Amino acid sequence: MIELLVLAVALSMDAFAVSIGIGAKHSYQIPRLAFKSAVYFGVFQGVMPLIGYLGGQGVLGWVEVYAPWIAFGLLVFIGGKMIYEALSEGIEEDIAQITHRVMMMLAIATSIDAMAAGFALTLLDVNPFVACLIIAVTTAIFSFAGVFIGDRSGTWLESKAELLGGVVLILIGFKMLM
């Protein structure tokens, strides 16, 4: 269960970083933006790992021997991508207005990694629906708080959150091998 909570926090760091950026760059209607971020990011981060899990279940019989290595590779790749993104500029700085369409695009962009990480759920002894619910709620909480943090602190925390999430995913990947 601890692994699942750590995975949920690590996966939520992408959405948290984007939420910080949204709050820092759009200082109007902060409670409404926080609610939007929580709903969009929470729902997408909860659904995408389930898709990855179901896809992983379909191929698990064929690649069962290699499953820990595949999960390791995916988590290291996702973690490395998050670290790379943390060191480069975010996408939310060019967005003038936060509409539902923009939020959906941001939610999809930040949750693609969660779909790949969903494959790792096939290797954990957890109920996939409970796991996805935990990931969704964790992401919603971090996203909601991220908008308020961004509004008050600016963007200095944005890349650090994404960097931490990437490092944690890589560490989870190494743990999968052991």
20-29 pLDDT, tens digit each: 888 887 777 8
Give the pLDDT band of residue 95 (cuts 50, 70, 90): low
Mean pLDDT within 136-142 = 96
Average pLDDT over residues 88-99: 61
As a whole number, mean pLDDT of residues 31-39 equals: 95
Would 6 be classed as within a structural domain? yes
Closest C-alpha among 120, 113, 126, 123 to residue 2: 126
Cα–Cα distance for residue pair 80/102, rounded to 1 Å: 25
What pLDDT was estimated at residue 92?
46
Rounded distance, CA 114 to CA 116, Å?
A: 5
Which residues make Cβ contacts (< 8 Å) with residue 98, sequence separation at least 6? 22, 26, 33, 36
**Which one is predicted more confidently, 176 or 153?**
153
Q: CA-CA distance, 173 to 178, in Å (whole number)?
A: 9
Report yes or no on 163 lying in a domain. yes
95 is a domain residue: no
Would the pLDDT of 88 be above 60?
yes
Which range marks the domain in which residue 121 is found?
Answer: 2-22+30-90+100-177
pLDDT for 55-74, tens place per residue?
A: 877 776 676 667 678 778 87
Give first-to-last CA distance, the chain, whole Å: 17
Task: Please indicate, yes or no, if residue 10 is contained in any of the structural domains.
Answer: yes
Q: Residue 122 falls within a domain, yes or no?
A: yes
Specify the number of domains making up the chain. Answer: 1
d(CA 65, CA 124): 15
Confidence check: pLDDT of 148 > 90: yes
